[in-house]
Structure 1
Amino acid sequence: MEEALDFFSSAPTLDEMPRRTLADTGIDGPTAAHVIEEVHTPFNLAYLTFTTGSSAFQTIVGVTDRESAGRTAVAREIFGRQKHGRGGRMLVTYPPLVNVFANEALVECGIEWSLLKRSSRDALLVAACKTAPHVILGESSFLRASLEQARSLGLQAQMPKGCMLLVAGTPLDEELLPVAEAFGYTVHDLYGCQEFGWLVLNGRTLRDDISLVASPRGEPYRELVVGGLPMGDSFVISAAGHVCDRGGEIITYRRERTYPEYEVVVTRSPAQAASTVEKTARTILRIKSRIVKLSPGLELGAGATRLELVPSVADPEAAPAAPITIEGPQATALFDLLVAAQKDMQTLAKSDPTWVKRR
């Protein structure tokens, strides 16, 4: 039996298992906030990443293969708007930001990216002077402090010319703008998250399935909803425009956490089985940290998905607020994509023969 196991078994040993490294996902750079730990990653996820931890502990996020095409389309939109085509060089200051794009998206867009040798301002200045990137991607206050350091060290002439700064991860530090202008750099404000990718550039949306709905915070805020799933962030909407683009009305640097947050209730679905929608809801909770529930009167086999947003905490002294309705197919595209990913997973039996479930 032992000889047969060694020669004929189709089940892999640990050494024979496929390995996906940091280099495979394009984030093989240093950070001062993490350790490197091997994990088993299920085949039904394209890759694992994690939230920034700006409002709670950093949380593991799963990205499905079905999401890759959408992230690639957004990457094309970002670089297309700034006229950076194939062969553009991007210096990334914080490796996990690559995950918001997905390295596959950057490869398909023809963007070459490099990472810092060390997670520090000195490392950024050395890399910028040596590699002359067209784009630098990073947190705005870090970039501002780095440029101020370059100026104080007399390195301004050695820094790359005509660079574009893509700022992300935290609200825009507006003090960066005059510092960047002195270097001849343009600043562009990206808003998004690891769960759903980049969503807004300079106050303009990057996807067709983004909705702006009334926020529990009241005027002048609006809650941003992507594909039917609320972000938990509310923004000022202003006709005066974004500081980086007066045509962009979503003021992403005037962000407030939405409270109480919205929960999602599914009232209609094209799915034929309620169990598929229920499993999708659980999957979204586990890999996207969004609460989705099924209506007791869920209509199956519908022509399009209908979702209702309701505050997670009701004011006992106020009249019940009417739910906000999100009608598909366009406005619920992301939710429907995750339903499709759930169906994909259900059609594939677990390939590990030691995993046996009995009811």
Structure 2
Amino acid sequence: MTLDVNLGERSYPIHIGTELLNNAELVESLVIDRQVLIITNDTIAPLYLRATEKLLSSAGTLSSLILPDGEAFKNLTTLNQVFDRLLTLGYSRNCILVALGGGVIGDMTGYAAASYQRGVDFIQIPTTLLAQVDSSVGGKTGVNHPLGKNMIGAFHQPRLVLADMNSLKTLPDREYAAGLAEVVKYGILGDSEFFSWLEVNAEKLLARDPVLLAQAVERCCQNKATIVAEDEKESGKRALLNLGHTFGHAIEAHMGYGRWLHGEAVSAGMVMAVDLAQRLGWLTEQDVSRVRQLLLVMQLPVEGPAEMAVDDYLPRMAVDKKNLDGRLRLILPRSIGCCEMVSTVDHQLLCETLRSCSATR
């Protein structure tokens, strides 16, 4: 299956399937006779680096860089290791970087590509469910800062996304479940039919049914490709993809990057979003129950950390890329399958949601 992200001169294909790491024809035209650097981590390298090197064997020069694994290393210090390697190797502006890993590797590699010599090409080879359905598509790149997640970055589209679903077989259960949170997100924000389909198939998806999983990845990628084509740099509709993320990013930053996986924090954040929407009179109690139940079946958290109080959330949420002129802006559902950005949020209702949706202290 191949989908296209239609962005004019910056358009690119998303290849979804099995055994794609064995299909050199998919990437040959991009890497032939070029300087190529594979960037991966110490978890993925033993599993897929050798196959990826074979995939890219038509490159003129092929090197690799293995970084430490984890959200805790998604920072400028680690990013400098990429620049050090590129400069030491003498790679030119015509080089191409290859991100082999999950969202952390994809985001850092993309930002390195956006920055090195003011911009070079890169390829995404996502190996986690979260990266395959979300972060590898759309060109958002960046690193974290202690005060805010992904606050340092750039929009830089890949030349190709290659999602080999075989790589999901080695994904730990916790990481896999975290990816399912981003899958659920697409149903809530703009695809009620998909949300209902997820409710029916949640247990089989959790068990990694290959047919249903392929359908879910394809549906998510198609939804995101359509949104990105309409709004590449998040001036409007693309902001809806941040459903649950303002709350979730606050959890990640406060707890310390890596203690809560991104998808786990987004899961709790989506429950907060639907809870607040119910308090505004937009959703019914049944709507909120449907969201919570689906996430619970997928073994995802539906409450924020017991360690966080309301006053821990608010300053973290104030450091958010969607905010404008100091005003908090949230993505909230009007119904399951229809979300909008809200620029005026009742402070008391927000605090009630944060208290209600946090685990008992």
- Settle same-fold status: TM greater than 0.5: no
Larger Rg over CA atoms: 1
Q: TM-score, normalised by structure 2?
A: 0.31
Structure with the bigger percentage of strand: 1
Higher RCO (CA-CA < 8 Å; seq separation 6+):
2
